[in-house]
Amino acid sequence: MSVDIKNLVQKYDTPLYVYDFDNIARRYEELKHAFEGKKSLVAYAVKSNSNLAVIRHLANMGAGADCVSIGEVKRALRAGVKKYRIIFSGVGKKDEEIREALQEDILLINLESEAEMKRVEMLAKELGVEARISIRVNPNVDPKTHPYISTGLHENKFGVSIDAAKRMYIYAKKSEHLNPIGIHFHIGSQLTELSPIEEACGIVADLVRSLQAINIDIKFFDIGGGLGVVYDDEVTIRTEAYAHAITQAIKGLDVTIVMEPGRYMVANSGIFLTKVLYEKKNGAKRFVIVDGAMNDLIRPSLYNAYHKIEAVQKTGETTPADVVGPVCESGDFLGKDIALPALEHNDILVVHSAGAYGFTMSSNYNTRGKVAEVAISNGNDYLIRQRENFDDQIRLEEVCDTGWQS
């Protein structure tokens, strides 16, 4: 990302998220090009970065949206995603969420259990509509990723077994209010090996062929997301190899390939900027205390995830330091044993690869306001989310007199 960081900090203050919209566009085009000549839909995983401007940017290029709450469905619609490109997924959907999705007439609802299928059928009957559905199949393939973002094993809460899926498809085919048009799988996130994807794709493609044999016509083959990105020194999957593996697995099937990339689209398109408050030493341990914290970027604390951290326009001998924030938790760190030069008050640090699961997982813990977000496009900067203040945080709270006195 080629930007004047000091100018951005002077203009918008810190902590601050900055997104390179030109790079997001390149990532989208690269993925679409890999599947050129095939029917395909890139349904952006809204959970990775749900800013309306980010979703609109992708929608303008033709992207759909993979949503895991009715709130995300509403975000996608508000941002301009066509309803026939929106998928509603997620393990636990409330009745009112299902009703609203059916009334919005989105592309399909992705089912995670037999019980959920029965609820969708009942609600579709009440509304007098036919629910277009897909079923999330759990292929029981080890994705070889962090256990917290593994989703395709029987021990995970997601999806149903192959046998359960067959029963569900047969039931749905016979129902007046269910139309089974899709199949879905997603084995995990931050995948850097192609073989688990190939294996899962082959298993699910075989299921589609067996369904076709009993006249269940699957039109959408949803491979989920999960393509890994570089945070440190990962060797990632080439999009051409990814596309080839999938198209070979589904050879002979007349389906639209649906992809749900999130991290792949935005992680390396975003940075997090934070200012140094002080340095301190506890014995031999060096700490760089910054104004950004775990409530702003929780991935290091939650997953022990690595993000490259660099000082802006500072040189000199480097020594290891833990970069920590103001939150009152020992787990409040952005990086450990990071090689940094000597730093002073108001020096700026850049936390790289922060475009995915950064702001979208942030919170108001310790009554800290959520930070501002800025987009960079064609060399210009745009404020796409204002910095939150104290009044924004307490707007929905009420002080009530309970009658207790000290």
Q: Distance between alpha carbon 79 and the CA centroid of its chain, in Å?
A: 17
* Angle, CA of 54, 69 and 329, to the nearest 5°: 80
CA dihedral 230, 235, 236, 240 (to 10 degrees): 140
Dig out the tokens for 348 from the structure.
């700026």
Peptide bond into 15 cis (omega under 30): yes
Where does the pLDDT of residue 152 fall: very low under 50, low under 70, confident under 90, or very high at 90 and above?
Answer: very low
Residue 143's pLDDT is 55
- Closest alpha carbon to 258 in 324, 362, 185, 316: 185
Q: How far apart are CA 178 and CA 175, in angstroms?
A: 5
In tens, the pLDDT along 117-148 reads: 999 999 999 999 999 999 999 987 865 544 44
Q: Is 163 exposed, middle or buried (0-12, 13-18, 19+ CB in 10 A)?
A: exposed
Distances (CA, A) of 180 to 90, 135, 207, 405: 17, 8, 14, 60
Pick the CATH number of 35-261 from 1.20.140.10, 3.20.20.10, 3.50.50.100, 3.40.50.720: 3.20.20.10
Of these residues, 67, 201, 328, 400, which one is catalytic? 328
Alpha helices in 250-364 (DSSP H): 263-266, 299-303
Distances (CA, A) of 95 to 54, 107, 143: 29, 18, 32
- Closest alpha carbon to 180 in 168, 198, 188: 168
pLDDT at 254 over 90: yes
- Closest alpha carbon to 165 in 185, 136, 142: 136
pTM score:
0.94
Q: How far apart are CA 10 and CA 152, in angstroms?
A: 45
Token pair 């006249």 is at which residue? 215
Asked about 67 being catalytic, the answer comes back as: no
In tens, the pLDDT along 158-214 reads: 789 999 999 999 999 999 999 999 999 998 888 888 988 999 999 999 999 999 999
- Number of residues assigned to the chain: 406
In tens, the pLDDT along 268-325 reads: 999 999 999 999 999 999 999 999 999 999 999 999 999 999 999 999 999 999 999 9
**In the chain, where the domains are located:** 5-14+268-394, 35-261
CB 56 within 8 A of CB 49: no
- Closest alpha carbon to 3 in 265, 230, 266, 271: 271
Dig out the tokens for 271 from the structure.
């940075």
The radius of gyration of the chain's CA atoms, rounded to the nearest angstrom, is: 23
Pick the CATH number of 5-14+268-394 from 3.30.70.1520, 3.40.50.2300, 3.40.50.720, 2.40.37.10: 2.40.37.10
